[in-house]
A = this chain, B = another copy of it.
């Protein structure tokens, strides 16, 4: 099976589980509508697909992987809703569609984000066929990855860095937190659900680290070489705002080389696992070659 087949096979079920987890809560209609609007806005589902790909590697815990994947996608989606707010990045378009606050107003968008954040932890707590010990481990990891010590902290560092030039280690630190932490959780949660050995888990975390940085470098490169149409969001925004990016610090060529390095490290980490890692390898390739 190749990555495309893997995605085609898993995406419909993943979306079904994700939407159902929101549709079935007892909450005001307009709040659910706002939450579902952003979930249904056509994300690539990279994070939940990583949870599933890792579980697939171990032939283990498939149904629960959809639920953990849905929880991560809720966190990712809430972070986008809040990032797009006028008081933050002030983005009107996301994935080629009007952003949440453009449709529902700033107040409801803020609350829809809050509700998705909170719901993700309930979803993990209510998961069936997983021991309470494992659920606590997952909830603890997600809280760290998504909160002040991870994603939210990275977002603060990112805003803080907008008005000055960051060094390469500072820039890496932003991204390790802002995008890397949640990607790492996606991959590590798959290892936890699948009872991976300590060695396998640590190889996967190493893979996740490099994939996370590669993902961000490609994002920075796409801002320069991509078009607004391809990206579904405004291209060239980083250059215009003099933001610290990999191409700005390393030149476009230097950034492409750095991207290749992280790709190579990610593949080397996978080699430590004595299983068929073809899907995860192709996933790494997709991350560095994607056009949006």
Residues on B with beta carbons closer than 8 Å to the beta carbon of A152: 27, 31, 111, 114-115, 118
Residues on B with beta carbons closer than 8 Å to the beta carbon of A122: 139-140, 143-144, 147
Tell yes or no: A2 within 8 A of B by CB.
no
Residues on B with beta carbons closer than 8 Å to the beta carbon of A32: 148
B115 contacts A148, CB within 8 Å? yes
Chain A positions 82-106 with a Cβ under 8 Å from a chain B Cβ: 82, 85-88, 105-106
Residues on B with beta carbons closer than 8 Å to the beta carbon of A164: none
Tell yes or no: A119 within 8 A of B by CB.
yes
A118 contacts B132, CB within 8 Å? no
Q: Can you name 15 A-B pairs with beta carbons within 8 Å?
A: A27-B148, A28-B157, A31-B148, A31-B153, A31-B156, A82-B111, A87-B87, A87-B107, A87-B110, A110-B110, A117-B117, A119-B147, A122-B143, A122-B144, A122-B147
Residues on B with beta carbons closer than 8 Å to the beta carbon of A86: 87
Give A261 Cβ to nearest chain B Cβ, in Å: 27
Number of copies: 2
Tell yes or no: A125 within 8 A of B by CB.
yes
Provide the A156-178 mask, 1 if CB < 8 A to any CB of B, else 0: 11011000000000000000000
B159 contacts A143, CB within 8 Å? no
Whole-angstrom distance between the alpha carbons of A86 and B117 in the complex?
21
Residues on B with beta carbons closer than 8 Å to the beta carbon of A85: 87, 110
Tell yes or no: A38 within 8 A of B by CB.
no
Chain A residues near B (Cβ < 8 Å): 25-28, 30-32, 35, 78-79, 82, 85-88, 105-108, 110-111, 113-115, 117-119, 121-126, 131-133, 135-136, 139-140, 142-144, 146-149, 152-153, 155-157, 159-160
Across the A-B interface, the 8 shortest Cβ-Cβ residue pairs: A122-B143, A87-B106, A118-B147, A132-B132, A27-B148, A115-B148, A125-B140, A121-B121
A126 contacts B140, CB within 8 Å? yes
B160 contacts A30, CB within 8 Å? yes
Residues on B with beta carbons closer than 8 Å to the beta carbon of A106: 87-88
B115 contacts A125, CB within 8 Å? no
Residues on B with beta carbons closer than 8 Å to the beta carbon of A139: 121-122, 124-125, 139
Give A129 Cβ to nearest chain B Cβ, in Å: 13
Whole-angstrom distance between the alpha carbons of A110 and B108 in the complex?
13
Whole-angstrom distance between the alpha carbons of A272 and B152 in the complex?
45
B156 contacts A111, CB within 8 Å? yes
Residues on B with beta carbons closer than 8 Å to the beta carbon of A82: 110-111, 114
Residue of B26, B28, B88, B117 near A107 (CB, 8 A) is B88
Which partner residue on chain B sits nearest A134 by CB separation? Answer: B132
Whole-angstrom distance between the alpha carbons of A147 and B124 in the complex?
14
A143 contacts B156, CB within 8 Å? no
